[in-house]
Structures are given as structure tokens and as C-alpha cells.
Amino acid sequence: MSGAGGEAIRVRDPYPGLRDVVVTGLGALGAFGAGREALAAGLRSGAPRLSPVERPPGYHRSHSARRAALVTERDFARWIPPAAARRMGLPSRFAVAASMMALEDGGLPRAQVTPELAARGAVFLGTAFGSALFSEQLLGEIFRDPEQASPFRFAESVANAPTAQVALALGITGANVTLTLREASPLAAVAGAAREIGLGRADWALAGAVEELSPLLHAALDRFRALARPHGAQPEAARPLDARRDGFVAAEGATVLLLESAERAAARGARVLARVRGAFQATDPSAPAASWGCGVDELAEALAAGLARHRVLPEEIGLVVSGASGARRGDLLEGQVLRAGWEGAPLPPVTAPKGATGEYGGFLAGAAVLAVESGLVAAPRWFEEEDEGVGIVPVDALDAPPAQTVLVSTLAAAGAAAWLLLDPA
């Protein structure tokens, strides 16, 4: 294996004796609704359910994006006691609700989380922007009169509030880690949790991502030309990998996976949705603060070295679940890196679930688990015209669940890159 310059790529030593980790539960809350079936239905639909974003005076430009994949669910009583929900901001409610769904889906309802079990648990969540609305509201209060600033809003404005609220709701006293790597946050969080279990510091973990989309965040993303825009009567649409793409559709919500040591899952007879084969990360330092860089060769080498470290040959990848979102530069880089990583050989089938879910909220991780478990991929109804630069046509459907390793790939704005390898159960 060699890099772009012909030099040998350095493959690091294999990991020393980490425990096997499996995914046994999936919780998701998004514009598509609540739960694994709702996420699956959203993927089948091939397009995110869009709602108008509030447009306070001065926030948005007149020609800006107007809609986003917003969570319309406001009744969290199924997952959170109302008194507890009142002490949470919206991102915390998203995260706790998705966590409860993941536990239930994994056959481990909250009542079975004893203090002993909670002491062996961990929580790892990713977020790109943290608590957008409370931060904005708190700042407004401080600007008007600092003495009137809400202490509750401050406590819930910190980026780790949702992660902490999940721990509070379940009494989980192990590691409580919030990671922020923009679009790469969800995969990094899942990888972090898998490592915590692999090292034996936890037996199980809740891992995923949460995001809240405020009007100001939506307007800011649009000002950076990150968002797809409406074209005449045509509403904005995410068109991952398509030549006509003009940005992503912003989404909010949460995705949480229940991870366990394979040993613990087997002992309790849990259904295994997927096995975590490995994870790896890299950075494209050529990336500017608000866009993607040009480090194709370096990222492709990192991808090749990561696969090799996990003893996976490119031809052993059965499916790529791509983080392509419709971003002009981001999708181009994703296509170039994947093709360079395969060194000209044909790519395996590629699916781009963000075309159906929108960007943010960690739905990529949930979609990957569904793909491994059932072979479900997002229906690429958005895709019409291949982009020669990207060079990838998303797969319409799979005949069967992939029998081989699934590569989940995400390249974030500002340079972070994260990959996850999932094996079938």
C-alpha cells in the first residue's frame, strides 16, 4: 500500500487486546418522528420532512434558506417525567428521550438500570454547536440587563448539558464526555464510547449526538452559504453527491446508540444490531474555519492506514455509509477521498442518508446501524445528475443486508474526519 507520492503508508500496530463492543439499541428523534421505525421510514422516503424556520427581523437574508428538518415533537412525557423535563433545555430533552428509546430498543428499560449497572455505564455525545437557543436567549438577557439573566438557562447553555442530563436521568456515574468536531462529532462520540468499553472502564454506554437548530444558527449557516436554498417554487433540498447540490438541509434532533461489551450483551441475551469493528480519525489541516479543505491525498492515506490497522481490505467493505450532505466542497472531498482510498478500484455501494435526514443530529450513525442490521439505505430520490468530480452514484437499494464490513465516513468542515467500521451481527 502506498500514498500519493508512492511512499509506503505507515500502518500502526493493531490495538492491544480491547474488548469486543456491539450495538444493541437505537434511539432517534428527528423531523421524521421518534424511534427506530420513524428513522427507517424517513430514510425510505428519501427526503427530510421540512418545516419553516422562524425569521426574526434581520437574521436571514431575503434569498436565504427558509426551511429545515425540525423536530415537531414537543411531548416528551413518554420518556421524561414532566417535572424533570422542565429542568431541561430542548437539546437535553432530545438527548434524554433518544437515550430512553435506545435503552428500550435494546431490551434494557430504565427500570433495569440499577445503581450497580449505572456505575459501569458511560455517556458520550457529540454536538457541533451546543445549545444554540438558550445561548442566544441568555445573551439577549445579559445584554438587556445582566441582573435578569436566568441561571437555569445558563446551566443548560453549556455544551455538555445534554450529556449530563442523560447521566442524571439514569444515575450513570462513569465517563461523561461531550465531543465537538462539527459534523464528525457523532462518529467520534460512538468511537469514544466503544473505546471506554473496549478498555474495560465501562460495560455499556449511551453514545451518539444531539443538535438544536435555532433561527440564529440557521441564519448563520445560510450566511456561510452552507445551506441548500429554494429555487423559485422548488423548496430547498439536500442533494448529496449530485451535481446540482447547493448545500445541505439543516436538521435537529438526537441519535443515541446503546453500546455494550459483546460479553455483557451475550450474557443477557441481547439482540445484536451491529458489531463495532473499529474507528479512526484524522484531520485535514488545510481546511479553513468554515469550509472543507483540499487534503485529498492525506485523508485518503489516513483512510487506507485506518482500514489496514483494523485488518480490513478495501474490497472487504460491503457498503459505505457516507456523510455526504449536499455541501458543495464537502461532498467533492468525500468523493475524492473515497476514490483515492480505493486506488481506482470500483467502490462498494455508497449510500448518503443525509439526503433523507438532513445534516446534524447524528442520524448518520443511526442510518449506519439500520443498514448493517437490515440492509436499509436511504432512497436517493434527490439524485439525478452525477458529478464527475465526486464520481459516486448513491445506491438505490440493497438486495440484502451487507455481509461484509460497513464503512461509515464523515468529513467535517474545518478539517476533522472520522470513520467507523461496523460488522454485521
Partner 1 sequence: MSPPEKSPARPLVVVTGTGAVTGFGWGVAPLFEALARGARAFRAIGRFDAARHRTHLAAEVPAAGRPLALEGMPHADAFAVFAAEEALVAAGLGRRELGPEAAVYFASSTGNMVEAERFFAELAATGGRRARAGLLASQPCSGPAEAVARRIGAAGPSETVSAACASGAMSVARALDALRLGDCDLALAGGSDSLCQLTYGGFNALRAVDPGMTRPFREGREGLSMGEGAGVLVLETREHAAARGAAPLAILAGAGVSCDASHMTAPHPEGAGAVRAMRDALADAGLRPDEIDFVNLHGTGTPLNDDAEWAALCAVFGARAREIPVASTKALIGHLLGSAGAVEAVVTIDALRSGALHATPGGGPPAEPPSSRTPVRIGLDGPLVVPGARYALSVNFGFGGANAALVFERAGEPA
Looking at residues 162 to 221 of the shown chain, list those that interact with partner 1 (rule: CB under 8 A): 163-165, 167-168, 170-182, 188, 192, 195, 199-202, 216, 220
- What is the Rg, in whole angstroms, of the alpha carbon atoms belonging to the chain? 20
284 binds partner 1 per the rule CB under 8 A? yes
**Burial class of residue 367 (count of CB atoms within 10 Å of its CB; 0-12, 13-18, 19+):** buried
Sequence letter at residue 54? E
The reply on whether position 59 binds partner 1 by CB under 8 A is: yes
- Given candidates 117, 142, 393, 425, which one binds partner 1 under the rule CB under 8 A? 142
Taking the least distance from each CB to partner 1, the nearer of 283 and 351 is: 283
Query: Interacting stretch for partner 1, rule CB under 8 A, among 14-22, 65-73, 102-110, 347-355?
Result: 14-22
The residue from 99, 160, 336, 409 that contacts partner 1 (CB under 8 A) is: 160
Least separation in angstroms between residue 139's CB and partner 1 is: 6
Spatial distance between the Cα atoms of 349 and 365, rounded to a whole number of angstroms: 17
- DSSP type of residue 366: H
Kindly state the smallest distance separating residue 157's Cβ from partner 1, in Å: 7
Q: Write down the H helix ranges in 204-319.
A: 215-223, 262-267, 296-309
Question: Any contact of residue 302 with partner 1 (CB under 8 A)?
Answer: yes
Instruction: For strands 253-261 and 176-179, give the pairing.
Output: unpaired
Minimum gap (Å) between residue 154 Cβ and partner 1: 3
* Nearest to partner 1 of 202, 237 (CB atom): 202
Taking residue 331's Cβ as centre, other Cβ atoms within 10 Å add up to 28
Backbone CA torsion sign across 10, 296, 308, 12: positive
For partner 1, the closer of residues 130 and 240 by Cβ is 130
Q: How far is CA 93 from CA 87, 113, 384, 409, in A?
A: 9, 19, 37, 27
Contact between 177 and 124 under an 8 Å Cβ cutoff? The reply is: yes
Site string for partner 1, 93-122 (x = CB under 8 A): -------------------------xxx--
Q: Is 158 exposed, middle or buried (0-12, 13-18, 19+ CB in 10 A)?
A: middle
No. of helices (H) and no. of strands (E), the chain: 14, 13
x/- map, 317-356, partner 1, by CB under 8 A: ----------------------------------------
CB of 180 vs partner 1, minimal distance in Å:
4
308 near partner 1, rule: CB under 8 A? no
Could you tell me the smallest distance in angstroms from the CB atom of residue 149 to partner 1?
Answer: 4
156 contacts partner 1 (rule: CB under 8 A): yes
